[in-house]
Structures are given as C-alpha cells and as structure tokens.
Amino acid sequence: METGLNGKAAIVTGAAMGVGRAIAYALADEGVRVTIADIDEGEGRKAADKINSGGGEAIFVRTDVTQSGQVKSMVEQALSRFGRIDILVNNAGIVGQQGPWHLLDEENFDQVVAINFKGTYLCSKAVVPHMIEQRGGKIINISSCAGKTGEENNGVYSATKAAVWNMVHSLSGELGQYGINVNAVCPAAMDTALMEKVYRERAEHFGLNPDELRKKIADGFRLPRTLTVEDAAGVVVFLASDMADMMTGQGVNITGGIELH
Ligand SMILES: NC(=O)c1ccc[n+]([C@@H]2O[C@H](COP(=O)([O-])OP(=O)(O)OC[C@H]3O[C@@H](n4cnc5c(N)ncnc54)[C@H](O)[C@@H]3O)[C@@H](O)[C@H]2O)c1
C-alpha cells in the first residue's frame, strides 16, 4: 500500500533533537518536505542540513512555540517555502521539575504548561485554517503514557500530556468534516535528553539512583528490548500517511506493553 507521503509538507516542532528529530528524519525518508521549528538554532540547523544533504528537503525556523507571533511567522515561512502544510507534529515538550506536586514551583508549572500545552494549542490554531482550505491534513500530538495514567513525582508534565491527548477528541470532532485527522501518540520512555533529566532528578524521590530507576522502567516492557525514538517515529509516519486515513481521535500507545489502555 502506498503511504501517499512523497511530496507532502510537514511542520515538526521541537525537531532539533530527540523524538522530534527522529520524526523529521523518518518523514524526510518518505519524501516529505519538513519544517523544523525549534528554539535550538545550532542543533535545528544541523538536523535540516542532514536532511538536505541526504537528498531530502528541509528548512529550520527558529520558533518558540509559546510565542504566538513566532508560531505565526514560522507557519508563514513554511507555507512560503512549500506552498502547503499537510502534516503538523506537535512534539516540542519539556518534562520540567521532578518531585511531589505540592513542592513544584509555580514558575515550573507555568513553563511546562506553556510549552507542552499552549504550544500545541498555538501551532494547531495557526495551521488548521490552511488545512481547512486544503480540505485535508494530519495533526499528531506527542503525548505520553504518563498522560493516560499520571505519574508520581511528574504530575504537572503528566497533566499537560493528558491535555494534548484529550485535545484530539475535541479537534477530531470539529475537523473531521474537512478531512483533517487528529491523533496523539503516547510513548513510554526513550533515551533522550529529556529522559536523562528524569533519571537524574526523579530517582531520589523513589529512593533509587538514576541507573536503578532506568532499570525499573526498562523492566516494565513486555517485549525483549526497550523503546527507541525510531519506534515512535515509525508510528508517527504511519499516522501521517494515507494508511491511517480512517484513524482519528486516537491516543496510540507506543509502550512495549507498559501501558495497555
Ligand atoms: N523521551 C521520552 O521518553 C518521551 C516519552 C513520552 C513522550 N515524550 C515526548 O516527546 C517529545 C520530545 O521529547 P524528547 O524526549 O525528544 O525531548 P528532548 O529534550 O530530547 O527534545 C525536546 C526538543 O524540544 C525543543 N523545545 C523545548 N522547548 C521549546 C520551545 N519552547 N519551542 C520550541 N521547541 C522547544 C528542544 O530544543 C528540543 O529540541 C516531548 O513532547 C515529550 O514529552 C518523550
């Protein structure tokens, strides 16, 4: 079956590294032209250069997803370069402070909510009018299995991930009539800078050291290996493709069996 992805245009936020970068590379491998929107100019440009030097097409646009003006300008630049936006991957996210809910700072709450939830709101708001005009598009929010279950000592992050998962229920209802699919993916732990911070800062709250916490999480996988960013990217590519045209409003677990519902 054809993916239908060749020649399409995508925006991937937070794609300078980690999960977002793996998604940008995987989409580019399918012939998708990619806008990398990230605050990290050095790594973002490197990721775009790698796609361009490998025969794909990508631009980097420095974008803080919490700033509506920057988001609007990024979407305009993506449109002016590629003429359309078929896919939006709302991936930019931070984990923030780790620890019991009542001890987390108010500034941390504001920052985690701003990047993980408001950023997803602003990028979707900026892209949806173009998708409506095109009569089609795919929006994919990167949630987390923590968004489904909550997570001790990671409550604010988990709540924002529940928000971006919940959003797909509302948006898929509003946008289905225009042929726009809205889904989320809910991955478990993958080795990235974000998870390094989690192992470093959450372990002590469970009376463990970082390596013991990493092992405890890894032991939860039902399959014989741990999850990689490429595993998550593969599912995102599928959801962005024609093969997932009749999937909408879903929160797809990518958890090696850690989370089943
Ligand atoms: N790594 C995991 O185990 C895991 C599991 C489930 C979900 N996720 C989700 O995947 C997404 C990516 O996580 P990751 O592990 O790759 O993290 P990461 O820290 O490796 O990368 C995050 C990227 O987001 C960018 N970013 C941060 N703030 C931004 C802002 N205001 N505007 C634009 N870009 C910004 C960073 O510069 C970076 O490139 C996040 O939404 C995270 O919640 C990760």
Tell me the CATH class for 9-191+228-253. alpha beta
Cβ(48)–Cβ(74) below 8 Å: no
Q: How do residues 40-88 score in pLDDT, each as one tens digit? A: 999 999 999 999 999 999 999 999 999 999 999 999 999 999 999 999 9
Q: Are 88 and 11 in contact (CB under 8 A)?
A: yes
pLDDT at 1 over 90: no
Mutational pocket test of ligand 1: of 11, 21, 35, 38, the residue with most ligand atoms within 8 Å of the beta carbon: 38
Place of tokens 């996210």: 93
Q: Which residue puts its alpha carbon closest to atom 42 of ligand 1?
A: 93
**CB of 20 closer than 8 Å to CB of 39:** no
Both structure tokens of 199: 């192992």
Mean pLDDT, the chain, rounded, equals 97
**If you measure from the C-alpha of residue 1 to the centroid of ligand 1, how many angstroms do you get, rounded to a whole number?**
31
pLDDT confidence bin for 223, thresholds 50/70/90: very high
62 CA from centroid of ligand 1 (Å): 15
CA-closest candidate to residue 181, choices 223, 235, 121, 242: 242
The pLDDT score that the predictor gives to residue 151 is: 95
Quote the tokens at residue 60.
């980097």
Nearest C-alpha to atom 32 of ligand 1 is from which residue? 64
Q: Which residues line ligand 1 (CB under 6 A)?
A: 13-14, 16-20, 38-40, 63-66, 91-94, 115, 119, 142, 144, 187, 189-190, 192-195
Per-residue pLDDT at 243 exceeds 90: yes
Number of the ligand 1 atom closest to the C-alpha atom of 18: 16
Going by alpha carbons, the residue nearest to atom 25 of ligand 1 is 14
The residue extents of the domains of the chain are 9-191+228-253
Widest distance between CA atoms in the chain: 53
Average pLDDT over residues 178-186: 98
pLDDT band at residue 181 under the 50/70/90 scheme: very high
Q: What tens digit of pLDDT does each residue of 74-132 get?
A: 999 999 999 999 999 999 999 999 999 999 999 999 999 999 999 999 999 999 999 99
For residue 8, give the 3-state DSSP assignment: coil
How confident is the model at residue 38, as a pLDDT?
99
Report the percentage of the chain scoring pLDDT > 90.
99
Instruction: Say how far apart CA 157 and CA 113 lie, in whole Å.
Output: 8
